[in-house]
């Protein structure tokens, strides 16, 4: 029988570092039963081993993204139409196949001049305002927000307000600290976000442009519903803001804590692509996969996950596992980190990975070269980290230069 560990080490972080307990679990066993402590009801499985995580995330025949009827409660039971992370095949296959052509590496590269312009505009505004500054609303969040809005065909005049609605919604969506009045404000922001997307979809039905929504409507017509288009657009934009926005804050934060790596990053621009992969691995702003539910009894290694049981995969544990021959896991932008799982694995591998990489490769060097004296105004341990959201990050990133 597997040993049960009462811990929530996979849901917590020590700054940008994993909790020591997570490393301890990983060293002892690649699959363990853990106490959810508020994230789910009761106990669930936690996979931390590379092979085990790959096997689970690759197996869409025996693991489902949809909870069984007995667990259809709360957030886990919500139907999110158009959100590919809440679909199993064949519906997942149908929708993803529609989207894949717009996210190929070649197509994403065509956005490079546009992304470069957005980054430059944000940095110009940041420099004009002068220090001190909070990088979250001035750099980390507006860049993916504006890029995502442009991808969907949102007019630039509307983009800032739309992104702000989403940020207000997500900042406390799973934060138990927020009082009821604040939660009501968050719900109103969420309603405003979705209402705008619905209106945009109706407009694109009448007059499809050259953007992603227009492409879906022209190419697939009534094969994709307005409700699905709304969900797709909301998910793509929300994921862009949360995932890339989180990395655009945590990546410079990591480099500031490793001055030797920051100096190397600035001195050797040819390392940019490699550095981005290493930062994705090291920071792992999405620390855990979306929960999977066993459709039947599944043997993984020495253990059996029973029908209906929940399994979480710790992407952070896999990415930060002890490397052979390396005394400890440190940030090293000269390392080949291309095998990381920061974007997941299997059929639910992040659709926007190429776009995320493009934004990071452009924005990080631009920020750090424009402001070579960039530094935090408070110790890193005093920052407020977003522990209770699926995407790890910081609420505020105060800097001077």
Handedness of CA 216, 220, 221, 222 (dihedral sign): negative
pLDDT at 323 over 70: no
Tell me if 231 sits within 8 A of 347, measured CB to CB.
no
Rounded distance between C-alpha atoms, residue 183 and residue 264, angstroms: 44
Cα separation, 96 vs 319, whole angstroms: 26
Domains and CATH numbers, the chain: 1-79+285-319 (3.30.43.20), 80-284+340-400 (1.10.630.10)
Q: Is pLDDT at 75 greater than 50 in this prediction?
A: no
Query: pLDDT by residue (tens digit) across 45-60?
Result: 999 999 999 999 999 9
Q: Does the pLDDT at position 84 exceed 50?
A: yes
Cα angle 159, 164, 165 (rounded to 5 degrees) comes to 100
pLDDT above 90 as % of the chain: 69
b/e for 151-188, b at 16 or more Cβ within 10 A? Answer: bbbbeeeebeebbbbbbbbbbbbebeebeeeeeeebee
Q: Is residue 322's pLDDT more than 80?
A: no
- Compute the distance between CA of residue 347 and CA of residue 59 in angstroms, rounded to an integer: 9
Give one DSSP letter per residue of 330-366, joined into a string. ---TTS--TT--TT--GGGS-TTHHHHHHHHHHHHHH
- pLDDT, tens digit (0-9, with 9 covering 90-100), for 192-206: 889 999 999 999 999
- What pLDDT, on a 0 to 100 scale, did the predictor assign at position 174? 45
Higher pLDDT, 286 or 386: 286
pLDDT computed for residue 26 by the predictor: 87
Closest CA to 306 of 320, 318, 296: 296
Place of tokens 């920071």: 283
Q: Which tokens sit at 256?
A: 């500031």
Strand 43-47 relative to strand 63-64, pairing: unpaired
120-162 tens-digit pLDDT: 999 999 999 999 999 999 999 999 999 999 999 998 888 878 8
Q: Residue 33 pLDDT more than 50?
A: yes
């Amino acid at each position: 029988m597997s040993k049960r560990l009462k811990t929530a080490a996979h849901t917590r972080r020590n700054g940008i570092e994993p909790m020591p307990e997570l490393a301890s679990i990983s060293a002892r066993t690649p699959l363990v039963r853990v106490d959810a402590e508020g994230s789910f009801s009761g106990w669930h499985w936690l996979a931390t081993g590379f092979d085990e995580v790959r096997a689970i995330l690759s197996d869409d025949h025996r693991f489902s993204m949809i909870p069984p009827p007995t667990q259809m409660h709360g957030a886990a039971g919500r139907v999110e139409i158009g959100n590919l992370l809440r679909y199993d095949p064949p519906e997942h296959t149908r929708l993803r196949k529609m989207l894949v052509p717009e996210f190929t590496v070649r197509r994403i590269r065509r956005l490079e001049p546009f992304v470069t312009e957005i980054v430059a505009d944000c940095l110009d505004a940041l420099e004009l305002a002068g220090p001190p500054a909070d990088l979250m609303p001035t750099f980390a969040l507006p860049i993916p927000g504006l890029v995502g809005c442009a991808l969907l065909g949102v007019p630039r005049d509307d983009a800032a307000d739309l992104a702000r609605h989403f940020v207000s919604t997500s900042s406390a969506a799973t934060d138990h600290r927020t009082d009821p009045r604040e939660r009501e404000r968050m719900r109103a922001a969420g309603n405003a976000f979705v209402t705008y997307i619905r209106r945009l979809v109706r407009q694109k039905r009448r007059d499809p442009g050259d953007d992603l929504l227009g492409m879906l409507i022209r190419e697939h017509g009534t094969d994709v519903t307005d409700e699905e288009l709304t969900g797709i657009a909301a998910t793509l934009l929300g994921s862009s803001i949360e995932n890339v926005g989180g990395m655009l804050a945590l990546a410079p934060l990591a480099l500031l804590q490793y001055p030797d790596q920051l100096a190397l990053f600035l001195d050797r621009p040819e390392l940019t692509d490699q550095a981005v992969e290493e930062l994705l691995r090291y920071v792992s702003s999405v620390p855990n996969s979306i929960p999977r539910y066993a459709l039947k009894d599944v043997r993984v290694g020495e253990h059996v996950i029973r029908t209906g049981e929940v399994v979480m995969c710790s992407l952070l544990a896999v990415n930060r596992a002890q490397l052979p021959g390396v005394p400890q896991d440190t940030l090293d932008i000269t390392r080949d980190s291309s095998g990381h799982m920061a974007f997941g694995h299997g059929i639910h591998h992040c659709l926007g990975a190429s776009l995320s990489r493009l934004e990071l490769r452009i924005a990080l060097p631009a920020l750090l070269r424009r402001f070579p004296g960039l530094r935090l105004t408070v110790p890193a341990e005093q920052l407020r980290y977003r522990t209770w959201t699926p995407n790890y990050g910081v609420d505020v990133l105060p800097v001077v230069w």
